[in-house]
Amino acid sequence: MAIEAYCVKCKAKKIMKDPKESTTKNGKPITKGVCPDCGTTICRIGAAK
């Protein structure tokens, strides 16, 4: 499943590598992954579909 998120370091939208569903401190769903180019953690608010 290809999930796009904005990488702050690359300043561009990238397709997440190893996306994992998680929740924030206040209980909202979030999808976390790794940028394929620079290796930074990138997040997208909302559950993976």
* pLDDT higher than 80, residue 21: yes
Number of structural domains in the chain = 1
**Residue 3 and residue 20: Cα distance in Å, rounded?**
10
Model pLDDT, residue 1? 65
User: Maximum Cα–Cα distance for the chain, whole Å?
Assistant: 30
Residues 6+ apart with CB under 8 A from 33: 3, 5, 16, 17, 18, 19, 20, 41, 42, 43, 44
* pLDDT higher than 90, residue 46: no
How confident is residue 48, by pLDDT bands cut at 50, 70 and 90? confident
Domain membership of residue 21 as a residue range: 4-45
